[in-house]
Amino acid sequence: MLVVTNLHTAYGAISALKGISFEVAQGSVVALVGANGAGKSTTLNTISGLLAPHEGSIVFNGRDITGWRSDRVAALGLVQVPEGRQILAPLTVEDNLLLGANRRRDRHGIHADLEASFERFPRLRERRRQEAGSLSGGEQQMLAIGRGLMARPRLLMLDEPSLGLAPLLVQEIFRIIADLKAQGTTILLVEQNARKALYIADYAYVLESGRIVREGPAAQLRADPTIVEAYLGKSRASSSG
Ligand code: ATP
């Protein structure tokens, strides 16, 4: 579904991605794991068109979208849930959700999906008329995921969904991701919490300083002693990054 080849992205003179290649198959959950600064967010931001690569290609469903603007990328159904949620604090919970559907014109479908969001996240229903800025961190992450789903994504890119959350909420966010997976949603998941990411993903890539240093079926990576030592040595369930 998504094929990224030899991607290079830089911030001025600072090279953040040094030629990474990976794939996401339809219906799969693929994790990109790695330490702080490895280039995970840069990868997602390049795919979603927020950053322009200076080399390499991004092909989505057979179409070369390299260098496309973010609104065109999103219109294809490649939807990013950004790191740090980026919800609009003064707007209500419901209006934030509806923002996710701002490209859609199917009123009935939007209404049905809004109801589905509230089914999925009952806490958001209770708070639908409340300012989004008043939500807790975990609720804001649910809102950010809900908003992404309102766009009816063909591929959902989640950037550090567990960042900064207490362990119980981390569990809840991963349960939500597991539900999405069970429903067949294709997901590219960026996480510093490699332990949890490798439990939920089908396949994973390990990023280090802008390069992919390992890849394989997630079950294989989490059983690999070098990965265990480097990334899974201690429980990072409560890591805030
Ligand atoms: P984190 O979990 O900290 O977000 P990451 O793996 O997502 O880590 P990136 O944010 O993609 O890493 O950063 C990759 C590299 O690019 C790092 O060396 C970082 O310092 C650098 N970088 C990121 N954003 C910028 C920026 N706006 N300007 C300059 N350098 C940047």
Task: Give me the phi and psi of 89, to 5 degrees please.
Answer: -55, -40
Query: Once rounded to an integer, what is the mean pLDDT over residues 128-155?
Result: 94
CB 56 within 8 A of CB 66: yes
Which pLDDT band holds residue 240 (cuts at 50, 70, 90)? Answer: very low
pLDDT value, residue 233: 63
Mean pLDDT of 71-86: 90
Cα–Cα distance for residue pair 59/196, rounded to 1 Å: 28
Flag whether pLDDT at 38 surpasses 60. Answer: yes
- Smallest CA separation from ligand 1 atom 21, residue: 16
Atom of ligand 1 nearest to the CA of 83: 4
239 pLDDT more than 80? no
Q: Residue 85 has what pLDDT?
A: 78
- Strands (E) across 160-241 are located at 187-191, 203-208, 211-217
Q: How far, in Å, is the centroid of ligand 1 from the Cα of 215?
A: 21
pLDDT tens sequence across 184-226: 999 999 998 899 999 999 999 999 999 999 999 999 999 998 8
Per cent of the chain over pLDDT 70 is: 96
- The domain defined by 2-236 folds into Rossmann fold (3.40.50)
> Two tokens at 70?
């973010």
What pLDDT sits at residue 241?
37
Q: Are strands 29-33 and 203-208 parallel, antiparallel or unpaired?
A: parallel
What is the arithmetic mean of pLDDT over 62-78? Answer: 95
Pocket perturbation via mutation, ligand 1, pick of 7, 14, 205 by most ligand atoms within 8 A of CB: 14
Whole-model pTM: value is 0.92
Supply the mean pLDDT for the chain: 92
CA distances from 21 to 27, 89, 235 (A): 19, 36, 29
Mean pLDDT of 50-66: 97
